[in-house]
Structure 1
Amino acid sequence: MEKEFTTTSPDETIARGKEFVASLEAGEVVCLQGDLGAGKTHFVKGMAEGLGIESDDVSSPTFTLINEYDGDKLLYHFDCYRMESPREALEIGAEEYFYGDGVTVIEWPERIEPLIPPEAIWISIEAPDKNTRKFVIRKREP
């Protein structure tokens, strides 16, 4: 499965995140790949809104590594940017979140890729210019 779409503003990115999360079930893992400033956190804000969570409450957990948000479904938001190895993710119990009662979204998933479930959804985000974001959604076949 592969889908593509483009957004031209942070508000549009948030709206697409809200649409996207509507089809997800508890226990699903979403991996967001993209450079700094690509729009990963704005997309997560939209996912949060779609789950009944105030988007203003969402921030990138760069220093805390994970934020948990409680809405219509739980949202677990990982930021692995500062992780040196998958072992650090194991130490904070990442695998329990991946198979838990909420939707898990991971920024910088390539840092812990060996731990990520094979059925995870991967979204790459590119920023071809200041306002435009190109999203490619792939579900790897296990």
Structure 2
Amino acid sequence: MISEAVGDFRLDDEAATSALGAALAGALRIGEAICLTGPLGAGKSTLARALIRSLTTPTEDVPSPTFTLVQFYEGAALSVAHFDLYRLTSADEAYEIGLDEALEDGAALIEWPERLEGRLPPDRLDIEITIEGDGRRARLTPSGAWEGRGFEFRS
């Protein structure tokens, strides 16, 4: 089913979170970002890992970039940089480690985008993941080029 990239999506389990990440991989374009917010353990890295593996290979090693801050991946159609900004102390640091360059050459997944202090990429899909009982809820809010875009998602 084609869904517009806006609104709330119920994610009953880890497989549903992964399915959302894989679905969004097909809609992501050069110069765009997906910004993931939510508490620790909400599933941000699970979604990011599935998206990256959809763009690269199903067995791609996708560690959390918590300590390296950024990991770069080359996909067949699109390169993607996975940023974890949790440990940053200023928005400038994200740009010093290559956020602008990542968006020029491919796309970016950004965990903890609130660390950018309002300096978010204009063409982005904000995803807020909240824990609800045993599942999750993902609220998608498009900006710029993401507005009105659909994607194939079966929850």
Report the TM-score when normalising by structure 2: 0.82
1:88-112 CA-partner distances (Å, limit 9, x unpaired): 11222322223x2222000000001
Structure 1 residue runs of 5 or longer lacking an equivalent are: none
Matched, 1:133 2:142: no
2:84 is aligned to 79
Q: Is the contact between residue 4 and residue 137 of structure 1 (CA under 8 Å) also seen in structure 2?
A: yes
The structure-2 alpha-carbon separation of the partners of 1:31 and 1:93, relative to structure 1 and needing over 3 Å to count, comes to same
Q: Is the contact between residue 32 and residue 121 of structure 2 (CA under 8 Å) also seen in structure 1?
A: no
Deviation at 1:118, TM superposition (A): 2.2
Count of matched residue positions in the alignment of Structure 1 and Structure 2: 140
1:45 is aligned to 49
Distance across 1 between alignment mates of 2:23 and 2:94: 29
Report the TM-score when normalising by structure 1: 0.89
1:110 is paired with a residue whose SS is helix
Structure 2 residue runs of 5 or longer lacking an equivalent are: 146-155
Matches of residues 64-75 of structure 1 in structure 2 within 5 Å?
64-72=68-76, 73-75=78-80
Structure number with higher relative contact order (C-alpha < 8 Å, ≥ 6 residues apart): 2
Matched, 1:101 2:116: no
Matches of residues 22-61 of structure 1 in structure 2 within 5 Å?
22-54=26-58, 56-61=60-65
Deviation at 1:56, TM superposition (A): 5.0
1:90 is aligned to 95
Distance across 2 between alignment mates of 1:91 and 1:48: 23
1:81 is paired with a residue whose SS is coil
2:149 is aligned to none
Deviation at 1:9, TM superposition (A): 1.5
Deviation at 1:55, TM superposition (A): 5.2
Partner amino acid, structure 2, of 1:76: A
Percent of counterpart pairs with the same letter?
37
